[in-house]
Amino acid sequence: MESLAERKAEILDEFMMFDDWMQKYEHIIELGKELPLIDEQYKTEEHLIKGCQSRVWLHANEGDAGLVHFTADSDAIITKGLIALMIRYMGDLPAKDVAQADMGFIQEIGLQDHLSPTRSNGLVSMVKQMKLYGMALAAKQSS
Amino acid sequence: MQEKTMDIPAFDVAHVRQEFPILERKVNGQPLVYFDNAATVQKPQSVIDALVHYYSHYNANIHRGVHSLAQEATQAYEDARKTIQQHINAEHAHEIIFTMGTTDAINLVMQSWGRSELHQGDTVLISALEHHSNMVPWHLLKQEKGIHIEVIPIHEDGSLNMEAYAELLQNGVKLVCVNHVSNALGSINPIKKMVQLAHEAGAKTMIDGAQALPHAKVDVRDLNADFYAFSGHKVYGPTGIGILYGKEALLNQMPPWRGGGEMIASVTYQSSTYNTLPHKFEAGTPNIAGGIVLGSAIDFVNTLGVENIERHEAQLLNYLVEKAAHIDGLKVYGTAKEKAGVFSFLVDGTHPYDVGTLLDQMGVAVRTGHHCAEPLMNHFGIPGTIRASFACYNTFEEVDVFVHSLERALKMLR
Ligand SMILES: Cc1ncc(COP(=O)(O)O)c(C=O)c1O
C-alpha cells in the first residue's frame, strides 16, 4: 500500500503536467466522473456535509483489512472531483493514517488560490469529516 | 423607469470605463469581466478621491465642534444629505436618514415603526420576490409580537400577481414590504400602483430600493412611498452607508431606536428628550466619510445621467438575451416585461456552482446561489441560479466574452 506521502507526490506530479488552470479543472472534472459513489440509501441529511454551496454526501465504512473506505456524491461535478481527489489521497488506508492526514497538498497544488472561499470551506469541512471517521474507527479498532 | 430615450446624447462607455481603476485588473490571468454588479458595483475615481480627500483634508466629528474642520465636515455631510434628497425628490432633507445600508434601514423601520405600530394579529404583506433583508426583520417581529406575514405571489415570469395583491389587501393589512427591483430576477415592480392600492386599504409601504437606485430614476414623492431604503455600495458609493427615506409625519411620530449622542436634545441622569429629525435616528458618530462620499457617488450618477445608464444596461441585457437564446438547455428565470440589469439563469445538466467556478477561471465574475431569496428559489424548485448583472461600465464586448466563456464552461461540464 502506498503511504500518504507517496500518494501526495503522485497527485502533485499529476497536476504539474497541466500548465493552466482550465486544464487542471478539466482534470478535476474527469476525476469527478470516477468518484466511488455513495449508496443511495446513505444520501440522507445525516451524511450531508455542511458548509458547501453544492450538496455533498459522504459515507465511510470499515472496508477490507480494516481500512477506511469512503464513498460520496455531490450535485456539482467540480465538487465531486475534489472529493475524488481527497478520497484518492486518504481512502483505503488504516484508520490512524486517515486521522493524521494533512491538507497541505491542497496548498501545494495551488488549489487554495483557485477555490472560492465557500468551496474551500466546504473542502475543509469535508476533510475534517473524513478525519473524524478515521479517528472514530481507530478508537473502535483499538478498544 | 420612464421611457425617455429620444433626447439623450450617446453614452461613451469607453470613457466611462476610464473612471474605474479596478477594471484594469486581471483575474486568473484574464481581463476582468465584472458581472456581479447586483451584489455591489465598482467605484469610480471621483468616489475614491472623495474618500481620500475627506480623510486627508477635513476629517472631524460633525455637529458638535466649533472649529473649522468640524464645520467643514458637518457642511459636507449635510450637503450630501441634500444631494440625496434632491436625487430621489424627497420633500425635506431631514426625511433622509443615514443608515448602514438597506438592511439597516429596514431594521430601523421594524424596530421603531414596527414595534410601536404593529400588534398581535396585524398583517404584514411581503412579496414573493423579497430579499431576506425585507423578510427576516418581519420574522423577528412575528416571533416577538405574533404578527401575521402573508405573501404576494408571482407569475411564472417573475412579475407580481397584482390581482392576488389587491385581494390580499382586503384583509386589514398594516404594512406592505416590496422591492422596487428584484435582485434575483430583475423584475421591476409597479411600485406607484402598489403604494396607491396599499394606501387605499389603509396600509403603509416599505419599499426596498437597493436594486432600483443604480438603474433608474427614483422619485419617492411620485411613488408616494412611506419608507424607501437603499444602499450606497450598489450605487457607486462605499459600503457601510445607506439611506432610509421616510415621510416627515411618520418619522416624527416614530420613537427613536438607538440611544446615544447626537440623537438627544437634553439629558439628565434619569431621562432624555430627543433631537429632531433626522438626528433622532442617527445616534452616535455616524459614518461621516460614507455619507459624504455617497453624495459624490450620486453626483457621479447624475453626471452620467440615470437615463443613459438605464438605456445602456437595457441594451446590454437585450443583447445578452439574444445571444444566450442560442445556448442549448439554458433557461432564464425572470422574464417579466419590465426588467432591469439582471440575467438569472440555469443550464440543463450543470450546477450553477460549477459554471460560476469555471467562469471565474476565465476572468468573468458572476454570482451563483440563492441571492438571499431562498423562498423564491424554492418556489421555482431550484437551489439557485447563475446571475449576470450589469452596471454603467459594462460593454457589448464583455457580453461576448461572457457568452463565449459560458459556452466553453458548458462544454467541459456536460
Ligand atoms: C433587493 C435587495 N435588498 C436588500 C439588499 C441588502 O442590501 P445591504 O446588504 O446593502 O443592506 C440587497 C443586496 O444584496 C438587495 O439586492
Per-residue pLDDT of A10-37, as tens digits, reads 999 999 999 888 999 999 999 999 999 9
Catalytic residue among B321, B330, B372, B382: B372
Show residues of chain A in contact with B356, CB under 8 Å.
116
Residue of B350, B357, B362 lying closest to A116 (CB–CB): B357
B26-27/A67-74 β-pairing: unpaired
Name the percent of chain B lying above pLDDT 70: 98
Domain ranges of chain B: 13-44+305-413, 48-303
pLDDT band of residue A120 (cuts 50, 70, 90) is confident
Cell for B220? 419617492
The DSSP code sequence of B276-331 is -TTGGG--SS--HHHHHHHHHHHHHHHHH-HHHHHHHHHHHHHHHHHHHTTSTTEE
- To the nearest whole number, what is the mean pLDDT of chain B? 95
pLDDT of residue B160: 98
DSSP B141-172: HHHHH--EEEEE-B-TTS-B-HHHHHHHGGGT
How far is residue A91 CA from its own chain's centroid? 8
Fold of B13-44+305-413: Aspartate Aminotransferase, domain 1 (3.90.1150)
β B204-208/B227-231 pair status: parallel
The DSSP output letter for A38 is P
In angstroms, the CA B91 to CA B225 distance is 12
pLDDT score for A51? 64
Sequence-distant (≥ 6) Cβ neighbours of residue B71 within 8 angstroms: B65
> Average pLDDT of A65-80?
94
B280: Cβ contacts below 8 Å, ≥ 6 apart: B251, B256, B263, B274
Q: What cell was used for B381?
A: 424548485
Averaged pLDDT of chain A: 89
* Ligand 1 pocket test target in B234, B294, B344, B370 with most atoms within 8 Å of CB: B234
In this prediction, residues B229-255 reach a mean pLDDT of 98
Residue A110 has pLDDT above 90, yes or no: no
Q: Are B391 and B377 in contact (CB under 8 A)?
A: no
Task: Say how far residue B29 (Cα) sits from the centre of its chain.
Answer: 31
For residue A108, which amino acid is it? E
Residues of B in contact with A21 (CB under 8 A): 28, 361
Q: Is B28's CB within 8 Å of A25's CB?
A: no
Element (H, E) at A21: helix A21-33
Give the right CATH number for B48-303 from 3.40.50.720, 3.40.640.10, 3.30.200.20, 3.30.450.20: 3.40.640.10
Task: Please indicate whether, in this complex, the C-beta atoms of A53 and B362 are within 8 angstroms of each other.
Answer: no
* pLDDT-based confidence at residue B345 (cuts at 50, 70, 90): very high
Beta strands (DSSP E) in B161-284 are 173-179, 204-208, 227-231, 242-246, 264-267, 272-274
* pLDDT at residue B8 is higher than 50: no
**Chain B contacts of A121, Cβ < 8 Å?**
none
Residue B32 identity = L
A–B: how many Cβ contacts below 8 A? 46
A52 is catalytic: yes
Section B243-247 average pLDDT: 98
C-alpha cell at A84: 475524488
Q: How far away is chain A from the Cα of B406, in angstroms, using its nearest Cα?
A: 13
Please state the rounded mean pLDDT for residues A113-140. 86
Q: How many CA atoms lie within 13 A of B132 on its CB side?
A: 6
User: Who has greater pLDDT, A121 or B362?
Assistant: B362
Instruction: Say whether B369 and A78 touch across the interface (CB within 8 A).
Output: no
Here the cell at position B88 is: 430621489
> What count of Cα atoms within 13 Å lies in the side-chain half-sphere of residue A107?
4
pLDDT single digits (tens) B56-115: 999 999 998 889 999 999 999 999 999 999 999 999 999 999 999 999 999 999 999 999
Q: How crowded is the C-beta side of A95, counted as CA atoms within 13 Å?
A: 18
How large is the average pLDDT for residues B166-170? 98
Is residue B355 within 8 angstroms of chain A, CB to CB? Answer: no
Ligand 1 neighbours by CB, cut-off 6 Å: B 38, 101-103, 131, 133, 179, 183, 208, 210-211, 231, 372
Does residue B353 sit at the A interface (CB-CB below 8 Å)?
yes
pLDDT at A112 over 80: no
What percent of chain B has a predicted confidence (pLDDT) above 90? 94
Summarised one tens digit per residue, pLDDT across range B364-395 is 999 999 999 999 999 999 989 999 999 999 99
Percent of chain A with pLDDT over 70: 99
pLDDT in tens, B262-280: 898 999 999 999 999 999 9
User: How many helices (H) and strands (E) in chain B?
Assistant: 15, 17
Asked if A53 has any chain B CB less than 8 Å from its own CB, the reply is yes
Which has the closest alpha carbon to B296: B44, B88, B27? B44
d(C-alpha A120, C-alpha A4), whole Å? 21
Instruction: Give per-residue pLDDT as tens, B105-124.
Output: 999 999 999 999 999 999 99
In sequence order, what E strands does B58-183 have? 96-99, 123-127, 148-152, 173-179
Q: What is the pLDDT of residue B189?
A: 98
Give residue for cell 477555490: A115
Q: How far apart are the first and last CA of chain A?
A: 24
Q: State the complex-level ipTM.
A: 0.89
Q: CB–CB of A22 and B361 under 8 A?
A: yes
Pairing of strands A67-74, B30-31: unpaired
Q: Which domains does chain A have, with CATH numbers?
A: 4-142 (3.90.1010.10)
Q: Which atom of ligand 1 is nearest to the CA of B371?
A: 14
Whether the pLDDT of residue B347 is over 90: the answer is yes
